[in-house]
Structure 1
Amino acid sequence: MVQRVTTWMKRHPIWSGIILLILLFIVYRIVRPAPHEYEYVSEPVTQGEVLRKVSASGKVRALNTIKVGTEVSGQVTKVYVDFNSPVKAGQILAEIDPTRVRARVQQSEAQVALAQASLQQTVANVARARAELEIQERDFARQKGLAERGFVSKAGLDIAQSKLNSARNALQVALAQTQSGNAQIRQGTAELSSAQLDLSRTVIIAPASGVIINKLVEPGTTVAASFQTPNLFEIAADTTKMQVEASVDEADIGQVREGQDVTFTVDSYPDDVFKAKVRQVRKAPVETQNVVSYLVIIDVDNLDGKLLPGMTANVEIVTGAKTRVTRVPTNALRFRPKAADRASEQKKPEDPNRKTVPKLAVYLVSTDPYRPVRRNVQIGLQGDEYTEVTSGLKPGDKILVRTKSLKPKAPTDDSADEDDDSAN
């Protein structure tokens, strides 16, 4: 058989060459390695800063917001300020119609005057009762002396004694009326003071200097202070200093301390990063839909006036920081190569009597880009972007951080440049 094939090949050299090339091509397609549809992306180990942050959201508030109300009911007749108006302490903000309150003042004044006149009459009655009492005392003394010498009967002495007792009782009544008159004057004076106070409260005064950030009344508005004090204005006492009230989740609140550095942004100025500090961590829990959070008060300077009350702040609280340390991207600690590329890893036999302690590992670039080298590491401070490595790596080592797909993208695919970060 072999001799016949050899003879045929010698007689047909061209066809023999073609058949040989076809066989070689088939063998090559069978034994050649399949092309990879992905590649690994690496980053070098660097030395720098590692920050651990807690993210939260909150509202910008004025450091001291004063709500100005009124304790007097009536119609607002004049309003002297508007939104964003700067005011000073003692400045008139608005006026309420004082007609009814002024009538109360006049009525109280009349009651006080009437009580004073009644008191004067009572004082005169006291003087008259004292004089009558003196007359009756002298008359009783004469009648008693005559009765002792037998010139006045027992009945005459009894009549003198009765008149003396009546005079004493009349004096006591006059003195009681004097005390009642004094009490009426004090009552009337108190009612007058209350009416005068209400009259003064018809003029709404700014209790402190600041800026009007809210105005709730206009001329013609009727306010009723029967059950609660209605608010008319809100004054931000000092807009150069603001505070952010941030809600921090209960899982992160244990890392937050007073004095920690804070950075935050607001939607109005997305490119500006504002710096602040934690002033207070309030221990009262706030529960919303079974989610517990705690309020953190953050102080911030607002000298340029960009921050306005009510703005939403995206807060990052720096709970840990280290500088000039060996660091790796945090996602490198979570990344794992494809299962086929990890098959060459040498696994040491495990001691069943030894307690296993989980170790963190990263994968370093080797001479074969699809055969990375596993390296166990120990870490220190862990942040969102970078993590400190205390042993196992040195600056300059290249570690794998993600996988990039090499498949051609369809023309209709909007995500033409997405990376495959999934760990297999």
Structure 2
Amino acid sequence: MIITRSLAWIRLHPVISGLIALVVIAILYKVIIPSPATYEYVTEPVSRGEVARIVSASGKLRALNTINVGSEISGQVTDVYVDFNSPVTAGQVLAQIDPTRIEARVTQARAQVASARATLAQAEASIIRAQTDYEVQSREFERQQQLADKGFVSKAGIDQARNALANARASLSTAKAQAQSGRAGIAQSEAELSSAQLDLNRTRIVAPTSGVVINKLVEPGTTVAASFQTPNLFEIAADTSRMQVEASVDEADIGQVRVDQLVRFTVDSYPDDTFVAKVGQIRKSATEEQNVVSYLVILDVDNKEGKLLTGMTANVEIVTGTRTNVLRIPAPAIRFRPRKDDRPEEETKDPVKPADEKSKKTNTAQIWVAGDDPYEPVRRTVTIGLAGEDFVEIIKGVKEKEKILVRSKSLENEEDEEDEDEFARGNT
């Protein structure tokens, strides 16, 4: 009865009946035939090659020996004879400070020396006169003494001769003292002259060593004030064929860095070139900025080609360990986890987090190997060796050329999905 009524209703409403039939067929198609996947897994084969453990840092290029050239006197700079990047030799004049005031001091000091020498000459002449007078008075006193013994000269005459002798002796002593003072005056005047001549020489700013001018801080007309500290006028790099990089290494990585380790670095000026250096020194004094502690590592750089310039920013990679000709897999494979629906059921019975904590102690890790079905990967426990930034050494657990899952890729758009860590996703 129901079937008869249904058939009658279908005959009376053919269009509606057709639409209902299409909807039912579409539903059955969706249920019976599954929809195509919207993603796929990207794999990489297990390969053999080099694994390098890298500590990344950044730093500035500096000249191996930079000398600041300053002025010890004040004055106005009248001439500058060098410019940036000018090669200089030791003793070469770099700049000239106005010497007028210093030259006047030198002239005055020379006049004082001449005056002191004239005073000394007068004192020495006084000594000769006083010496002659003393000798005359000595002989006169002796004669008066002899005459007094014979009774020809009174006692007053003897006293007068003795007094004249004493005055002559005092005059001689005074003349000698004046001569000694004159010599001291000459020494003082000559010292002042030497000081003035030294300051005059210092008006010529000279290079203390050979090198290249990397910084110029003065121009003609600049007034130099050296009252409290020596102002810097030039910076000279003594040898630009050898340079150094001052790299800041994070405290978490400094324990891996050793002296003489190989270093690779790049600079923005030559993005396609890789430069080689080695660790020369590890400074033990820590630097803290915004609660981040770092240590200064000095890298020795060969710059014979002259490409590198002071102040360039270096992107540094310190090679703290290498393995050659070993089995390796891409580093992202260690962190990657397939989607929850694609993992075997036993995965939910064996929580990953405890396994990972155990892996840290036993140096093992969980990776996923492509199976026969691309959406049913196989979990594999591997023993890892050296872990680098791009590759991880595999000691055992996989074979060469096996395909390892490294990330997932969306098929609905052109952008790849980000690698998902199981714990970060929180959908396990």
What's the TM-score, normalizing by structure 2? 0.83
Counterpart of 1:371 in structure 2 is 376
* Equivalent AA in structure 2 for residue 360 of structure 1: A
Q: Give the 3 Å change call, closer, same or farther, for CA 151–360 of structure 1 in structure 2.
A: farther
Q: What is the correspondence of 1:14-163 to structure 2 with a 5 Å cutoff?
A: 29-30=30-31, 32-33=33-34, 35-144=36-145, 156-163=157-164
- Residues 291-340 of structure 1: CA distance to partner in whole angstroms, max 9, x if unpaired? 22222222222233222222221111111112112211111111112223
1:208 maps onto 2:213 in alignment: no
* Equivalent AA in structure 1 for residue 309 of structure 2: L
What's the TM-score, normalizing by structure 1? 0.84
Counterpart of 1:361 in structure 2 is 366
Q: Percent identity?
A: 62
Q: Give the 3 Å change call, closer, same or farther, for CA 391–152 of structure 1 in structure 2.
A: farther
Partner of residue 417 from structure 1, selected from 399, 415, 418? 415
* Equivalent AA in structure 2 for residue 404 of structure 1: K
- Residues 207-241 of structure 1: CA distance to partner in whole angstroms, max 9, x if unpaired? 22222222222223222222222222222233322
- Residues 147-195 of structure 1: CA distance to partner in whole angstroms, max 9, x if unpaired? 5666655555444444444333333332222222111111111111111
Give yes or no for contact 1:404–1:419 (8 Å, CA) kept in 2: yes
Counterpart of 2:258 in structure 1 is 257
1:172 maps onto 2:173 in alignment: yes
Q: What is the correspondence of 1:7-18 to structure 2 with a 5 Å cutoff?
A: none
Counterpart of 1:225 in structure 2 is 226
Counterpart of 2:312 in structure 1 is 311
CA distance in 1, matches of 2:111, 2:270: 64
Once the two structures are TM-superposed, the CA of residue 105 in structure 1 deviates from its matched residue by: 0.7
Q: Give the 3 Å change call, closer, same or farther, for CA 294–211 of structure 1 in structure 2.
A: same
Once the two structures are TM-superposed, the CA of residue 57 in structure 1 deviates from its matched residue by: 1.4
CA distance in 1, matches of 2:23, 2:208: 100
CA distance in 2, matches of 1:152, 1:69: 80
Give yes or no for contact 2:59–2:316 (8 Å, CA) kept in 1: yes
Give yes or no for contact 2:99–2:203 (8 Å, CA) kept in 1: yes
CA distance in 1, matches of 2:111, 2:39: 99
Once the two structures are TM-superposed, the CA of residue 286 in structure 1 deviates from its matched residue by: 2.4
Partner of residue 405 from structure 1, selected from 400, 407, 410? 410
CA distance in 2, matches of 1:102, 1:401: 80
CA distance in 2, matches of 1:214, 1:105: 33
* Equivalent AA in structure 1 for residue 97 of structure 2: I
* Equivalent AA in structure 1 for residue 421 of structure 2: A
Give yes or no for contact 1:338–1:423 (8 Å, CA) kept in 2: no
Give yes or no for contact 1:58–1:314 (8 Å, CA) kept in 2: yes
Q: Give the SS at the match of 1:309.
A: coil
Partner of residue 387 from structure 2, selected from 365, 371, 382? 382
* Equivalent AA in structure 2 for residue 276 of structure 1: A
Give yes or no for contact 1:281–1:297 (8 Å, CA) kept in 2: yes
CA distance in 2, matches of 1:251, 1:152: 112
CA distance in 2, matches of 1:356, 1:187: 86
1:299 maps onto 2:300 in alignment: yes
CA distance in 1, matches of 2:93, 2:300: 31
Q: Give the 3 Å change call, closer, same or farther, for CA 159–256 of structure 1 in structure 2.
A: farther
Give the RMSD, CA atoms, in angstroms: 3.3
Q: Give the SS at the match of 2:342.
A: coil
CA distance in 1, matches of 2:241, 2:206: 23
Once the two structures are TM-superposed, the CA of residue 341 in structure 1 deviates from its matched residue by: 2.6
Give yes or no for contact 2:408–2:416 (8 Å, CA) kept in 1: no
CA distance in 1, matches of 2:183, 2:97: 34
Once the two structures are TM-superposed, the CA of residue 36 in structure 1 deviates from its matched residue by: 3.2
Q: Give the SS at the match of 1:340.
A: helix
Q: Give the 3 Å change call, closer, same or farther, for CA 365–124 of structure 1 in structure 2.
A: same
Q: Give the SS at the match of 1:360.
A: strand
Q: Give the 3 Å change call, closer, same or farther, for CA 283–151 of structure 1 in structure 2.
A: farther
CA distance in 2, matches of 1:26, 1:74: 97
Q: Give the SS at the match of 1:322.
A: strand
Once the two structures are TM-superposed, the CA of residue 360 in structure 1 deviates from its matched residue by: 1.8
Q: Give the SS at the match of 2:189.
A: helix
CA distance in 2, matches of 1:191, 1:219: 29
CA distance in 2, matches of 1:250, 1:163: 94
Q: Give the SS at the match of 2:260.
A: coil
Give yes or no for contact 1:137–1:164 (8 Å, CA) kept in 2: yes
